[in-house]
A and B are shown apart, each in its own frame.
Chain A
Amino acid sequence: MDDSNQHKTGQISGAEIIMRCLHEENVKFVFGYPGGAVLHIYDALFKQNKFKHILVRHEQAAVHAADAYARATGEVGVALVTSGPGATNAVTGIATAYMDSIPMVVISGQVPTAAIGMDAFQEVDMVGVTRPCVKHNFLIKDVRDIASTIKKAFYIASSGRPGPVVVDIPKDITADLADFDYPKTVEMRSYTPVIKGHSGQIKKAVKILLEAKRPMIYTGGGLVLGDASNELVKLAKALGYPVTNTLMGLGGYPATDKQYVGMLGMHGTYEANNAMQECDVLLAVGARFDDRVIGNPDHFLSVPRTIIHIDVDPSSISKRVRVDVPIVGHVQSVLSEMNELLAAETKKPDANAMKAWWSKIDGWRSIKSASYEQSSSIIKPQYVIEKLWEVTKGDAYITSDVGQHQMWAAQYYKFDKPRRWINSGGLGTMGVGLPYAMGCQLADPKAQVACVTGEGSIQMNIQELSTCKQFHLPIKVILLNNRYLGMVRQWQEFFYENRYSESYMDSLPDFVKLAESYGHVGMNIEKPGDVEGALQDAFAMKDKFVFMNFMTDQKENVFPMVPNGKGLSEMILGTDPNKDAAAPAMEG
């Protein structure tokens, strides 16, 4: 290490210890914003060059960018913020990561130890504020505890069901001196995540799967986070069973594969939702049966089926839906074990039953629930996503914000790889898209990164155009501009008799001029015929940030839709002529 950091005593400052810890963890990027309580830390940061600091324009974006870096790479994202407002600005980012189980360490400055509780300038009880939205948090009270605490923070963040960990460090502690000794391992009697699943349960699961007549495989964000995509593909291929992914699980199974039946849930496909509802054996992997996925749990449970649930978090099992075969363990380890058992098994899936089941699924598929009416005069948002998929050859990192554009991106971009679809599924945080794209682009500098967004969401972190300029991030912003908070407008149309209360976005900026003012390229696209060419032009500018403002159909809605509180098979279809057969009355 850098000997110039060593004081005469051989001891180094708390701030320097923090740097050494981050080096030990092989951190490549720290996303942050300086302030009074972290000045010692920023001074130590100035003197090191092992990781790069990405200066954002708002702390929320720092945390989102660190979160996306973690989603894209599987490594722990790191953010650094100051006390008080810096810390509270980070909270939305932390809660977003918590809901999606993203491994992250957030270091926040705190007022000096003696000032804690004195209502000091820029003081906030960060440990108290973040308690409900972190996996764990720490307040360090002694410089000698920094190394062991940061080691624990990285371990907790990345093991078991991952999640964000906050480490709050008072300013005086970062100036105090101590020896640096980074622990090699962590032993915590109170925290011992389970990895290997119960082998008896796994055997039982395989037996049940092989006896299924109408099987279904349903996987979520846990499969992506657990890097178990290959194991899942192997299992699904060996069995020949249909697979659906949740919004968080997209890319976990290749979307272009014929066994893939599309996303399920509130805006899932007709075939995925009906197969979920009618299956007799359901294998759930790293998914949590949440309200946007299975709709009304009572309706879901009105059909008898055997549910096998693999999850690393015991509390996810039998939370909303009681399951028959719970398997607590790391999804990759459990699926590998299932694959081994299957390979050794002489029994095969029931071919006749599968033929009948697939023919039923193909019937649902033929409805083409994910279709829309193309227009020659007005840009359909779905069309933009289809062309985006074509132009990027299905290989881009797609980040999204939250709303209609998010659902269209999820429905029409066919993700064949995990960790390419980066969105806020759990918390549903508007404003994540641009900082998420920053995190992805830094994680994979040569990759194509597109932020699919709306004119509402993009304005929630628009200041990051400046960060993108500073760090030369060649992100492409795909703004589906319908001059409405589209999802709010859609619900108001369906459930509030077209009273569009505060959902119209007035006084929008000239996005092209705005982008240009930051030195980026701006484009206005107003005609369907220009969409593909504009996308090709934009992605040809490999070293430029391009802001593409697509003026889209104002009244387009996201279909299919399972209304809130309804069951999966009670979907409203969009343009399909058969829709009346399946569509119930629209109610809130």
Chain B
Amino acid sequence: MKHIISLLMENEAGALSRVAGLFSARAYNIESLTVAPTEDATLSRMTIVTSGSDEVIEQIIKQLNKLVDVVKVLDLNDGRHIERELMLVKVKATGALREDMKRISDIFRGRIIDVADGSYTIELTGSGSKLDAFLEALDKSVILETVRTGASGIGRGDRILKV
């Protein structure tokens, strides 16, 4: 099952490679991994999307906690949470496609952020599955380029991950 794991770690050189190395050394899946400093510049917040049986997820959480640089780990799937991902898609926009692309972008609440003679660049945020759905709604031949950030997640309401 897919899990979104959030963690806070010391914002130090090499910290990211410790997490990435742990996943490869123990043969855990990484679907996506995002990281950036928090409002406290000494801390980085990381969101890892992974999948595995309950036993594997339990081990992942324990192994992450064991890393000396990791301050806190939270499995967002243990409670209600919100997931958001940003995607930029460059699509063909010639002739009739210009109107089609605009319309489909509107349906998914995307924004066209760059316009060129033959293409649009559409910005879209949402859950991973919404972004997947958008790509599926497009004909493959019109997609020129996609870039996704990987998911960021946060707990709903009072669930707070903070030092």
Contact A131 to B21, CB < 8 A, known contacts A190-B68, A313-B66: yes
Contacts of A131 in B (CB 8 A): 14, 17-18, 21
Contacts of A315 in B (CB 8 A): 59, 62-63, 65-66
Contacts of B62 in A (CB 8 A): 314-315
Complex CA–CA separation, A190 to B8 (angstroms):
9
Residues of A within 8 A of B (CB): 127-128, 131-132, 135-136, 139, 156, 188-191, 313-315, 318-319, 322
B interface: dominant SS: helix
Find the A residue at minimum CB distance from B71: A190
Contacts of B59 in A (CB 8 A): 315, 319
Contacts of B131 in A (CB 8 A): none
Contact of B25 (CB < 8 Å), options: A132, A313, A322: A132
Shortest C-beta distance, A390 to chain B (Å), equals 44
Assess the A318–B55 pair: CB atoms within 8 A: yes
Contact A190 to B14, CB < 8 A, known contacts A132-B21, A315-B59: no
At the interface, yes or no: B113 with Cβ under 8 Å from chain A? no
Find the A residue at minimum CB distance from B15: A190
Pairs across A and B, CB under 8 Å, 7 listed: A128-B17, A136-B68, A136-B69, A139-B13, A156-B68, A313-B66, A315-B65
Complex CA–CA separation, A318 to B25 (angstroms):
19
Complex CA–CA separation, A127 to B9 (angstroms):
18
At the interface, yes or no: B160 with Cβ under 8 Å from chain A? no
Assess the A135–B68 pair: CB atoms within 8 A: yes
Complex CA–CA separation, A315 to B59 (angstroms):
6
Contact of A189 (CB < 8 Å), options: B18, B58, B71: B71
Beyond contacts A315-B65, A322-B55: 11 other A-B pairs, Cβ-Cβ < 8 A, are A127-B14, A128-B14, A132-B25, A135-B68, A139-B14, A156-B68, A190-B71, A313-B66, A315-B63, A318-B55, A318-B58
Complex CA–CA separation, A189 to B66 (angstroms):
13
Number of residues of chain B lying within 8 A (CB) of chain A: 20
Contacts of B101 in A (CB 8 A): none
Contact A190 to B17, CB < 8 A, known contacts A132-B25, A315-B59: no
Assess the B58–A191 pair: CB atoms within 8 A: no
Assess the A314–B65 pair: CB atoms within 8 A: yes
Shortest C-beta distance, A145 to chain B (Å), equals 12
Contacts of A127 in B (CB 8 A): 14
Complex CA–CA separation, A191 to B9 (angstroms):
11
Contact of B68 (CB < 8 Å), options: A128, A191, A319: A191
Complex CA–CA separation, A131 to B17 (angstroms):
9
Assess the A190–B55 pair: CB atoms within 8 A: no
Complex CA–CA separation, A136 to B55 (angstroms):
25
Q: Report B59-111 residues with CB < 8 Å from chain A CB.
A: 59, 62-63, 65-66, 68-71
Find the A residue at minimum CB distance from B17: A131
Complex CA–CA separation, A156 to B68 (angstroms):
8
At the interface, yes or no: B163 with Cβ under 8 Å from chain A? yes
Complex CA–CA separation, A131 to B18 (angstroms):
7
Q: What 0/1 readout, one digit per residue, does chain B (32-64) give for beta carbons within 8 Å of chain A? A: 000000000000000000000001001100110
Find the B residue at minimum CB distance from A128: B17
